[in-house]
Amino acid sequence: MKDTIQKRERRKGRSSLSDRTILVPAIRASFAKLNPRWIARNPVMFVVEVGAVITTIIFVLDLFNGTPVLRGPNNELFVGQITVWLWFTVLFANFAEAMAEGRGKAQAASLRKTRSETIARRLVDGQLTNCQTNGLEERISSTQLKKGDLVVCEAGDIVPGDGDVIEGIASIDESAITGESAPVIREAGGDRSSVTGGTRVLSDRIVIQITANPGETFLDRMIHLVESASRRKTPNEIALNILLAALTIIFMVATVTLQPFAIYAGTSVTITVLIALLVCLIPTTIGGLLSAIGIAGIDRLMQRNVIALSGRAVEAAGDVDTLLLDKTGTITFGNRQASEFLPAPGVAMERLVEAAELASLADETPEGKSIVALANRLGSSGRALDKAGMTFIAFSATTRMSGVDFGGRTIRKGADDAMGRWSERDLPVDVRARVDAIGRSGGTPLVVGENKVVLGTIHLKDIVKPGIRDRFAELRRMGLRTVMITGDNPLTAAAIAKEAGVDDFLAQATPEMKLKLIRDEQALGRMVAMTGDGTNDAPALAQADVAVAMNTGTQAAKEAGNLIDLDSDPTKLIEIVEAGKQMLITRGALTTFSIANDVAKYFAIIPAMFFVALPELKALNIMQLHSPNSAVLSAVIFNALIIIALVPLALRGVRYRPIGASALLRNNLLIYGLGGIVAPFIGIKIIDIIVTAVNLAA
Amino acid sequence: MVVDIIGVVITYLAVAMGAWFLAPHLVKVFQGQRVFLSPVLRPVERGAYRLMGVDETKEQSWIAYGVSVLAVTIVSLIFTYLVLRLQDKLPFNPQGFGPVPADLAFNTAVSFTTNTNWQNYTGEQTMSYFSQMVGLVMHNFLSAATGIAMAIALVRGISSRQLKTLGNFYVDVTRATLYVLLPIAFVAALVLASQGAVQTLSSYPVAHTLEGAAQTIAVGPFASQEVIKDLGNNGGGPFNANSAHPFENPNGFTNQLEIFLELLIPFALALMFGRWVGNIKQGIAIAATMGIVLVAATGIAAWAEQSGNPALTNIGVSQANTATQAGGNMEGKSVAFGPIYSANFAAATTGTSTGAVDSSHDSFTPIGGMVPLVLMQLGEVTPGGVGAGLYGMLIFAVLAVFIAGLMVGRTPEYLGKKIESKEVRLASLVILTSAFNILVWTAISVLVPAGLKGPLNPAAHGFTEILYAFSSTNGNNGSAFAGLTGNTVYYNTALGIAMWTGRYIFYIPILALAGALAGKKVVPAGPGTFRTDTPLFVGLLIGVIIIVGALTFFPALALGPLLEQFQLAAGHLH
């Protein structure tokens, strides 16, 4: 419980919007990002900046020369204010991006702090044989470690970099990375050999082979992702950018041709007002927030202790159709456990329970422990017995039985056929029926006997994690299919699949079958997500569209994955999918909102443009704005302020609820479509009242 | 008035029923299955392929398909240009008309090739029977069939499962002509002739009036031309007065019959789309989107025309609908049709890309006249031209899915095909072309002196006349607001170019889109998929069409019809 609180505090501290350590650099960065070469990456904001430069020039010329050509009927105060607000529009968009970047970097920094610089004990020759006896070590800074170096860590040392244990076994405290305080065991060989820089060795001595050069660890890769300079746009972002660019061109055509139309109508429009109209029409809201939304998506995953190694994977997570989940550890607790005792006819329950417990007292396997635990729950107290006089018979592959002999009692438990041979006769009909039924249901039967008399059966089964069924139901509502992967036989697999509520299962799975399943799903056009930690998961991870590698997993698995879960919790996939969907929804919502906003802006600016020459058009001034200048100014101010107002939404993301696509679309259309049409009418009117009240526009 | 409204309702119901029954026939025709006409027409079809040297089993990639479209178009364009230029040396010219001037011949040839049928000439004073029947009517079939073929290619792209081909253009055009256009036109022509439309090859008869003056009455083989003019959404009639002429459109029944013919194929194609992709509801959604906008537009136009001119109301003139007068704005309308049927015709002819007229849109009230203008500016998709309406609407569907589809939390997909940057780029290009074509040409025309000479009326109304001309030609509609003197070198050329880009600049992105979609995997639908066969989607699609159109053209409309309406209401006349 302590760790969860600790984790929650850390999250809260990281995500705070009003954090000065993020806010101040973000404001500074907003100005630095005014560099045209930077802005040119974003066509919408580039147009705004060009517009701002032009109005600045007009303002300066008006002020000093009063150039008659450029000077309209509007006074300098008006042009000056429009200019200021246009610059603010660009700055606000820059600020949104800088905030998202800053938050990501702050999170990364807090992760990195632990691993900042430690002293590494490098083996001089890089020879393993030396160290076993009397290896020569040198002490160097962890930042100088290269891929392939061998380092030694003993109790109390900080692991200097990411790597694989190639010798020894140690318990390691990973709380600095995962927030979990319980130590984990890492040992050479197998799937538990990977260690992360910044964690602390609590006991024993290990030799680690470093697997990443400085600046190439996955934390470094993630930091690149939140720095928009080196960030690559995701496919959907590129498509959206094209649409926004096309809309920008359409509005440029609509604005530029307005001047000849005005001339035909016997009037003309000042360049300042035309630029104001253009900036109001082009989708600045989404254009300004688009890159912040993408970065914020990665930030949000980081808050959940998931490190994204590509922005594309986060986006793809929203599209996932099929989820592959390992049975063990994800759907069920790792081991089979005793779930009930079934006495043979004529045998009292108490007798069976007592015998079962006695037979398992010395059995240290999880199954054996679970039998003792279940017996205790049922009121037996075998533990109180004096074990001194007991002779325990351990399980062996040949006898396939275990048990205990004491005081003339010979108690055994074992597989049904082995127990049949032991009792020297067939199992009682009723017991045989029970055994078969348990097998059919996916469980494992253990038969218990005393002095060659069969007493009954113990039902061992996989225990499905509580609450997992509800999560699968939620996934189904989100439109995802879950497939359980297990090494069990089909019968067992089917039973557990039914109990857990998964849609499908793959039994007796081999790595090849896993890979084939992913390919088959993809051939049907489905996107596949999976989690994995073992080296043999790597090919499947590399094939999957969204591949979450467990931090506890091997280096090979982490290399193959595109997301890494620091908590090593396979059910995290659900949150990753949600984060992906949230990012897409936020983009769609703000695009819709941005376009819907234009309706009101037309009604503000068009009548204002022709107020003098074509007074009849004031019928379009349905907001009853005070004057042409106040109308144009209010629209421009609204357009700038809405960006800053929506920054929190862009960073937080629009909430996703698994209520089905139609309901989701209807709700969001209502809020961001209809709301997007109505909101600016109200907003512009309010700003107009304020602007008029403080005499900013005549 | 009530009778008129019932007439409109019956017409639209008839269209719905006709389209419903025509749709399965269209699926069969374009999937190459046997239909009831096959025993008679199959030999003709085979003969046509042999003549053209076409292997009907060979499928084309989108590029090959596009090249075929352009090749056929350009060859037939040059052919028509030559026919018009040489009509004095060609047969069937009883009135002895001279050659058509070069700029007018260019404009007219482009106009008919692009299915626009903008007419800068007066048919009965310019064109010989040969020019009308061979040079022009040929395009009434060919350009309509080409539009249908393009739509079929896009539908194949959307429905195909990872294929590289889109069918064969020559086969599609031939089958569209033989199995769809000709049979319907044949039956409808008989009905129309029975109602009094003329169908003759003799020279113009001369009538002697009561005052003793001699009056030449223009006639011709026109009932058949009239039918394909409507059915193929061409709109170019043999008479200058078009469907307001009693020999083209004799009575109220034929008026509604022509409306029926204009709307039949565009709606049937939309329903065909649903059957083709294996979900009738997808087609109903598209047809419903078209229908709702069309019905609303009809209602607005009819209301504006029946309400009459606000300036007349202001000075106390009764424009009420009474036993003795139709009421409403009757300027430029035939008493045979009255305000409501005229408004109905105006909405149908501009909602489709027909462009035939049975009344002068120039004389409509500003709001009544804005309805046809807006229907054309929305991109000719409600229901749009034969074929062109469907592919235009599908482009909007792609955009609607992309904008709003994100809001369900998935990469947008339409009928299981992911909409990615390539599709968005091509769809955007289509919308962009349309906006650019209309607005930039209008802007140039109000700046250059040659353009300013065009409009008959000053101020806002004159502006609307120019805007209307380019909206009409860009949308390949061809209806004229009248009032614009189009037969000048400037307008013949400018409008000719606008017609050409309005149709053929479209073709490339549309076929490229079809090709891109054809190669894509189909993502199976699940509960998280954005459904495109629901009323919600219909509402969304209508919203996107109207908002995109309104945002692009609002400033222009404000300075044209809206300004005029406000001026009329305020009593400021120009």
**Contact check, Cβ <8 Å, A235/B416:** no
Chain B residues with beta carbon closer than 8 angstroms to that of A614? 559, 563
What is the number of CB-based contacts under 8 A between chain A and chain B?
206
Q: Which residues of chain A have pLDDT under 70?
A: 1-18, 66-74, 111-117, 125-135, 176-181, 218-219, 221-222, 228-230, 334, 381-386, 698
pLDDT tens digits, one per residue of A173-187: 877 666 666 777 888
**Does the CB of B193 have a partner CB in chain A at under 8 Å?**
no
For B:503-542, CB contacts with A below 8 A are 521-524, 526-531, 534, 536, 540
pLDDT at A564: 87
Q: Which amino acid is at A415?
A: A
pLDDT tens digits, one per residue of B194-214: 888 888 777 778 888 888 788
For B:458-487, CB contacts with A below 8 A are 459-460, 463
Q: Which of B395, B406, B424, B531 to mutate to test the interface with A (most CBs of A within 10 A)?
A: B406
pLDDT at B26: 96
pLDDT at A624: 92
Tokens 């060659």, residue? Answer: A452
The pTM for the full model equals: 0.85
Tokens 């019968």, residue? Answer: A491
Tokens 């042409």, residue? Answer: A628
Alpha-carbon distances, residue B518 vs B155, B159, B277 (angstroms): 9, 7, 13
**Contact check, Cβ <8 Å, B446/A672:** no
- Catalytic-labelled residue, pool A173, A326, A565, A569: A326
pLDDT at A14: 43
**Contact check, Cβ <8 Å, A254/B553:** yes
| Long-range residue pairs from A504-513, CB within 8 A, at least 24 positions apart, any chain | A505/A327, A506/A324, A509/A485, A511/A536, A511/A537, A511/A539, A511/A540
Q: How many residues does chain A have?
A: 698
CA distance B342 to B193: 21
pLDDT at A180: 64
Q: Note if A326 is an active site residue.
A: yes
Question: Is B310 in contact with B568 (CB distance < 8 Å)?
Answer: yes
pLDDT at B380: 87
For B:111-150, CB contacts with A below 8 A are none
Identity of the residue in B428, B439, B530 whose CB atom sits nearest the CB atom of A243: B428
Q: How far is B266 from chain A (nearest CA, A)?
A: 28
Alpha-carbon distances, residue A172 vs A149, A175, A183, A185, B49 (angstroms): 20, 9, 5, 6, 79
Which of the 8 DSSP states describes residue B324? S
Which of the 8 DSSP states describes residue A159? P
**Contact check, Cβ <8 Å, B439/A478:** no
Q: How many residues does chain B have?
A: 574
pLDDT at A10: 44
**Contact check, Cβ <8 Å, B559/A262:** yes
Tokens 């920054």, residue? Answer: A647
pLDDT along chain B (574 residues), means of 10: 88 96 96 91 94 91 93 93 90 84 91 88 82 84 93 92 86 95 93 84 78 79 85 82 84 90 96 94 96 95 87 77 77 84 92 88 88 91 91 93 87 89 92 92 92 82 91 88 82 91 86 90 80 92 92 92 87 66
Chain A residues with beta carbon closer than 8 angstroms to that of B444? 260
CA-nearest residue to B410 within chain A is A319
Question: Is B209 in contact with B215 (CB distance < 8 Å)?
Answer: yes
Tokens of B366: 């500003």
Q: How far is B184 from chain A (nearest CA, A)?
A: 40
Alpha-carbon distances, residue A161 vs A107, A197, A204, A218 (angstroms): 19, 4, 18, 11
pLDDT at B93: 81
| Long-range residue pairs from B87-91, CB within 8 A, at least 24 positions apart, any chain | B87/B127, B87/B128, B87/B130, B87/B131, B87/B135, B90/B128, B90/B130, B90/B131, B91/B130
Question: Is A151 in contact with A191 (CB distance < 8 Å)?
Answer: no
pLDDT at A668: 93
For B:541-560, CB contacts with A below 8 A are 543, 547, 550-556, 558-559
**Contact check, Cβ <8 Å, B528/A242:** no
Q: How far is A615 from chain B (nearest CA, A)?
A: 9
Q: Which amino acid is at A492?
A: T
3-class DSSP assignment, residue B205: coil
Alpha-carbon distances, residue B88 vs B92, B100, B127, B532 (angstroms): 9, 9, 10, 55
Q: How far is A220 from chain B (nearest CA, A)?
A: 28
pLDDT at A127: 56
pLDDT at A598: 92
Question: Residues B439-455, buried b or exposed e (16+ Cβ, 10 A)?
Answer: bbbbbbbbeeeebeebb
Tokens of B556: 């222009």
